[in-house]
A and B are shown apart, each in its own frame.
Chain A
């Protein structure tokens, strides 16, 4: 977070998210996101030396379910959602690189 004020590379992040942005949009979002990051950066002023880092705000652990088979969706319903299907499978544009 310490380098947040240096701004984020909106073009790169957009590429990672597979978003196509125009130059105007990139500039607009750059300004907006910098503002948001700057706002969040106020947290840096807090002294958190004695606070354990955590991935979650609430202390809940071990939410498990037993290994028992439940209901899956009906195959026809599943495929009904596919923009394209063949042989009971989803059909997508050709994938090359793994």
Chain B
């Protein structure tokens, strides 16, 4: 029998705010434990939460970037549970009236464009961080109460590749939009993955299995693949897939039962009496919309249409916001988009990955790359010398022009110097000369190579070619 998998994602993204969602404690990663805490985020009796305006704005902007409608009226609810990561014994969330409704994400999966529907985005607060030690657990409340939004997709994906493409696009958009850095290592982007399988043609979805709290895209991909295979095997064996929550064991690449439906939580949601609802006017929505930055897809299109870059280049350059911003900055100092693109995609990304540093920290600044390109375009140096200069600046810093002078890298276009090398090459290689004269155009390349060798790579290839042709065609 043929089976079809259905996948939905609930993605939690930590917003880039300076303070927490409901109190003015600083939001900072890596601070000493329990140094950014107060009566509100520690759940002291009588402490009252107050909404962070910036978080609301970022959540709504995230919604606008994803084509959601902004709910004119939204409210707050308590999700009740007992767990030490939430000192109040409830999490403030949005149950039935979230900030953003509907929406979609268009992504390319294996060369085909697909549209994945988004059901809603709601605002909530993050939980504290637990560390498990011998005989107990430790709780650091610095993260408790920080702004967290949950983006819920429709169950509209059908493969691990779909889910991966969706998450990559989501991450890119959130980064471009300044909503979140989505640094998975810092837990800024985590997903709950819902997977079910049904025979093709069956109308109802199969039993839903939820894999909780995954931050690595690679693990999500593995977990989905494993889960689809496992559920199909259960159905094929005549069994029933249990609706349950499963964890993912990264070492084994397998999922395992964590919690079955029978002991599922009953959160007893009810309206949060401590927070007043939010009303957002159409005018406010338009003000926010006007502030939205250009998204990767728009940038990609502009790089092709306005800068004349190949689709491939535009895709590579825009896949990372930092790289794309760097490219934009370089374009303020040069008109040669293709040369900038070549240097970024070649030397820059290769050297950066070798060093494990970010493009923003590179010693080759956008201005310096533009200076190197100007030297190449003026034929002062060859393209290969340009790459050497790039590498020197990357490793040691310094000014491109000064380096070219100090190392004598300028190429020779001077006729008198070229003439000597050209004559020598012609005299020493009568066979190639004969072949060329007999009509074998390619033979000239050998002579050219001899001149380049004699000049130790400094001869201007264009000028050499011209000189050789002049002499041979005469």
Contact = CB atoms under 8 A, between A and B. Distances in A.
Contacts of A87: 33, 138
Interface residues of A, number: 34
Contacts of B276: 56, 60-63
Interface string B128-139: 001111011111
A69 interface: yes
Nearest to B73: A61
A86 B53 contact: no
Contacts of A56: 271, 273, 276-277
Contacts of A61: 276-279
B137 A94 contact: yes
Contacts of A79: 34
A47 interface: no
Nearest to B271: A55
Contact of A65 (B50, B135, B137, B278): B50
A35 interface: no
A62 to B, nearest CB: 6
A71 to B, nearest CB: 8
Nearest to B247: A98
A68 B18 contact: yes
Interface stretch (B77-85, B152-160, B286-294): B77-85
A33 to B, nearest CB: 15
A31 B36 CA distance: 45
A72 B53 contact: no
A50 interface: no
B140 A69 contact: no
A70 to B, nearest CB: 3
A68 B19 CA distance: 6
Contact of A94 (B54, B136, B275): B136
A67 interface: yes
A75 B31 CA distance: 12
Contacts of A66: 53-54
Given A68-B18, A79-B34, A98-B213, A55 B138 contact: no
B360 interface: no
Given A72-B38, A78-B42, A95-B137, A18 B130 contact: no
B39 A67 contact: no
A57 to B, nearest CB: 10
Interface in B29-84: 32-39, 42, 50-56, 75, 80, 82-84
A61 B74 CA distance: 10
A86 to B, nearest CB: 6
A20 to B, nearest CB: 13
A50 B56 CA distance: 31
Given A68-B24, A73-B38, A90 B84 contact: yes
A86 B34 contact: no
Contact of A64 (B34, B56, B136, B259): B56
Contacts of B56: 64
B215 to A, nearest CB: 14
Contact of B266 (A16, A69, A95): A16
Interface of B: 17-19, 23-26, 32-39, 42, 50-56, 75, 80, 82-84, 130-133, 135-141, 212-213, 258-259, 266, 268, 271-273, 275-279
Given A68-B24, A70-B38, 12 more contacts: A63-B275, A63-B276, A65-B50, A65-B53, A69-B18, A69-B24, A70-B19, A72-B37, A73-B39, A73-B42, A78-B37, A98-B83
Interface of A: 16, 18, 55-56, 60-73, 75, 78-79, 84, 86-95, 97-98
